[in-house]
Amino acid sequence: MNSNEKMEFPSGVVAVFAKTPQRGAVKTRLQPLLGEDGALSLHKSLIQFVFSNLEAAGLCPVEFWVAVGDGTLEGDSLHEDVFTSICNIRNIFEQAAGDLGARMAGCARQVLQRAEYVVLVGADCPSVDADYLRCALGHLEAGADIVIGPAEDGGYVLLGLRGVPDCLFAEMPWGTADVLETTRARLRADGLGWIELDPRWDVDRPEDLPRWEALRRSAAEREGGGGVAVG
């Protein structure tokens, strides 16, 4: 029996989407409050927290899918310390070129060549915990084609797929509060069914920071000050 078969959902893969940590290029909406260095530190902390939590759940294999900024691998962006310190290099993949939709679709297509279903999670979504992930994986294992975890800001924190319908990815208003409603409307128009989970929050706005700080303090207390790396 291989290690995957010991997991609760060996037929699935979780793909954690993360930007390469680059000063000035991450968490740009929070830079006026935190500064470039503070935004970079936050970005790294979120990457470590989200990946470590989901991998520790042991539900299915977890992979990093990394956006390398300007499209070059200058400085070996895929092998940044923040990734290799918590993930085997074999589980780090480069996102495709293009907008977020093209990159998500490209990841899903690749993963679905070797898994029955995939769950995409943003590295800035620390509210996606083991129970939430288990719920999404359970729906996919039971045969659901699409599972959406809505975000409170109008996007989504999680997307589970058994296929790659174009309507989910092409010409979507990424980065706006209209993503979720547009997604629902397109799915209805194409006659596609989906499962929708309870809304969760991500870390994009100043008002998200107190919840993030409370969450990581709680996690550190549960681990006795160790365990999950939270920066």
Written as six digits, the tokens of 32 are 């006026």
What are the structure tokens assigned to 160, written together?
Answer: 């589970």
Residue 139 above 80 pLDDT?
yes
Query: How far apart are alpha carbons 164 and 105 in whole angstroms?
Result: 6
Tell me the pLDDT tens digit for each residue of 146-161.
999 999 989 999 999 9
Cα distance between residue 80 and residue 228, in whole Å: 18
Strands 117-122 and 156-161: antiparallel
Which tokens belong to 70?
């300007």
Classify residue 85 by burial, with Cβ atoms within 10 Å: 0-12, 13-18, 19+. exposed
The whole-angstrom separation of Cα 61 and Cα 189 is 33
Q: What is the 3-state secondary structure (H, E, C) of 189-205?
A: HCCCCCEECCCECCCCC
d(CA 225, CA 61): 26
pLDDT at 76: 52
Length of the chain equals 231
Ordered structural domains, the chain, with CATH = 4-222 (3.90.550.10)
Position 220 confidence tier, pLDDT thresholds 50, 70, 90: confident
pLDDT of residue 79: 59
pLDDT category of residue 72 using cuts at 50, 70 and 90: very low
Enumerate long-range contacts of 85-91, CB under 8 Å, 24 or more apart.
85/48, 85/229, 86/48, 86/51, 86/52, 86/55, 86/229, 87/51, 87/55, 87/62, 87/63, 91/61, 91/62, 91/63, 91/64
Write the DSSP symbol of residue 57: T
pTM: 0.89
Q: 212 forms bridges with which residues in the sheet?
A: none
Residue 134 above 50 pLDDT?
A: yes
The per-residue pLDDT for 5 is 66
